[in-house]
Amino acid sequence: MKRPAATSPERADATVVDEPRCPRCGYQQRGIIEAWREHCPLEGVCTECGLRFEWRDVLIERVPRWNNEYGTWRAYPWRTMRTIGLTFRPWTFWSGLQMHHPIRPGRLLLYPVALAPFCYLLIAIATGLGLVFFMVHHAQSGLTVQFPQALYAVLHAVVLPFSDHAYDFLSYPQSRRRSGESAADISLLLLAPGVLSIILFACAHVSAAACFALLPLSRRKARVRWAHIGRAAVYGLGLIPVAIFFFLLIGLLALAGELIIGGIRDWWWNYYAPSGFAQLSGFCILFLLHVVWWSFATSRYMKMPHGWGVGLTVMVIPLLTLFLLLLLFIIFLGQFI
């Protein structure tokens, strides 16, 4: 049977490895290779940690073309966008990025910095949409919205979503006045319900990597290196823009229902219900996302057993610790108020 031809990514990104090592524990495999005399096996087993691997992954370096650790600097922004996009699908992320792919520390540590403009872009777009909702609300109230000034206000809100400049796009028969909304008011209105959850889960996610120290038996049995745990923790920071996107979406839906649809509070929502719904649902979804992230990172990337148990453990422990510290801080602060 004719062997299928290699794909173009394999031909482009494949290089021969000088010192083949175990992808998980880093044990030197040169001794096993020297014992080959008549045939070369397709699969191997590390004598140090027991990991099963394919020799082609150890002898030939093939790197994923979507990951931002590899490729030229010109392709870095596009690969970063694709890396963030795959954060929504941890099962695909950790199936494409494996332990035999070499870690590039410089590119890896640059990833959290690259997340900042992406988060800023999400907030900017949401702020512009929120301002449009306010304009529609003013138009429904019988006020005249001037198009050139309205377009400038939206562009200004997108470029500077945290500006406190009050916009002037309303027109009256005899006089003009400012609308009263600013980009800072809208962005804070949309993000306020999720700020605490985002900060809480960002701290819990970073602490989750340290929680692997509380699993010495599983970690030593699997011979997982801290470099791989750190890689999973750094890429998991991509869940921060995912959380921001979710809270902005909930905020925009609540704002549209309040300003454009109208009367939503008279049905079954009270004044604080949209904010409370965003906080509760956001917390539950973020918890599930982080557990899924660490579960697939543990099972598919680090090849450790009981991936779901490990993922749940490393997230519950730091969250409970942070809740306890927050409660103690509130009690301590209450004594001085």
- Cα separation, 308 vs 302, in Å, equals 13
- Cα separation, 196 vs 286, in Å, equals 12
Mean pLDDT of 220-240: 86
Confidence bin at 296 (pLDDT 50/70/90): very high
Contact 135, 145 (CB under 8 A): yes
Task: Compute the mean pLDDT over every residue in the chain, rounded to the nearest whole number.
Answer: 79
| Nearby residues of 56 by Cβ (< 8 Å), 6 or more positions away | 42, 62
- Residue spans of the domains in the chain: they are 11-62, 106-334
Confidence bin at 175 (pLDDT 50/70/90): very low
Highest mean pLDDT: which of 16-25, 47-56, 210-219, 227-236? Answer: 227-236
Give the pLDDT confidence score for residue 266 in this predicted structure.
Answer: 42
Residue 54 pLDDT > 50: yes
Instruction: With CA atoms as reference, report the closest residue to 279 among 186, 193, 191, 188.
Output: 193
Residue 221 pLDDT > 80: no
- Cα separation, 51 vs 300, in Å, equals 12
Mean pLDDT of 8-25: 62
CA separation (Å) from 127 to 91, 122, 153, 198, 203?
A: 32, 9, 11, 18, 26
Confidence bin at 293 (pLDDT 50/70/90): very high
Give the pLDDT confidence score for residue 262 in this predicted structure.
Answer: 60
Contact 251, 191 (CB under 8 A): yes
Angle between helices 273-296 and 226-236 (to 10 degrees): 150
Q: How many CB atoms lie within 10 A of CB 2?
A: 4
pLDDT tens digits for 139-158?
Answer: 877 777 788 888 888 898 89
Q: What is the 3-state secondary structure (H, E, C) of 271-298?
A: CCHHHHHHHHHHHHHHHHHHHHHHHHHH
Residue 147's identity, in one-letter code, is F
Confidence bin at 337 (pLDDT 50/70/90): low
Side-chain half-sphere CA neighbours of 86 within 13 A:
19
pLDDT tens digits for 261-277?
Answer: 664 444 334 444 555 66
pTM equals: 0.77
Mean pLDDT of 283-293: 88
> Torsion angle of alpha carbons 310, 314, 316, 318, nearest 10°?
170
Give the pLDDT confidence score for residue 295 in this predicted structure.
Answer: 92
